Amino acid sequence: MVKSELTIIAAASTNNVIGFNNKLIWNIPNDLKRFKELTLGHSVIMGRKTFESLPNPLPKRRNIIITKNKDYSRNGIEVTSNIEDAIDLCKGDSQPFIIGGGEIYSQTIEIVDKIELTRVYKDYQGDAFFPDIPRDKFELTNELVNYLDDDSSTKYSFLTYIRK
């Protein structure tokens, strides 16, 4: 049996906003590139609204959607009604990823092994939020600071947290 490292991957502002009207607020090409590099070949678990914000299922990844709608189906996805069943579908994947949204992050932050967070150092208005990281349970193990190409005053960092 493969030991799996359940990982949240997200981008959040300093006030923990992750989206507005089911859309990302910022455009950070390096963040999207990192997301793709990390998740390629793995399972990605997301809520229905997050899935519907995408143009298509993410290619070369197993797309698992959590929804209470028992009749929900689309080509290229698997559907489940809860987190536990979604994680069970990932047996054999060394690193399944939780990719959103806010509700799913809140339900899983207490059970994940790792958090890959892009922190955008600016406050934004939004309607979807990333939960506070429990500092007593996670340790920051890596930080890579960057600046937005089109706005060198806005800083962002790639942060890796590991469960203590």
Residue spans of the domains in the chain: they are 7-156
For residue range 13-46, list pLDDT tens digits in order: 999 999 999 998 988 889 999 999 999 999 999 9
The pLDDT value given to residue 32: 94
Q: How far is CA 142 from the centre of its chain?
A: 17
The pLDDT value given to residue 148: 72
The pLDDT value given to residue 123: 94
For residue range 86-138, list pLDDT tens digits in order: 999 999 999 999 999 999 999 999 999 999 999 999 999 999 999 999 999 99
The pLDDT value given to residue 151: 60
- The β-bridge relationship of strands 17-19 and 114-120 is unpaired
Q: How sure is the predictor about 2, in pLDDT bands with cuts at 50, 70 and 90?
A: low
* Between 83 and 148, residue with greater pLDDT: 83
The pLDDT value given to residue 3: 76
For residue range 137-155, list pLDDT tens digits in order: 999 999 998 877 666 677 9
The pLDDT value given to residue 27: 86
Q: Annotate 70-95 with b (16+ C-beta within 10 A) or e (fewer).
A: eeeeeeebebbeebeebbebbeebeb
The pLDDT value given to residue 69: 95
The pLDDT value given to residue 147: 77
Query: Is 8 within 8 Å of 108 (Cβ atoms)?
Result: yes
- CATH fold for domain 7-156: Dihydrofolate Reductase, subunit A (3.40.430)
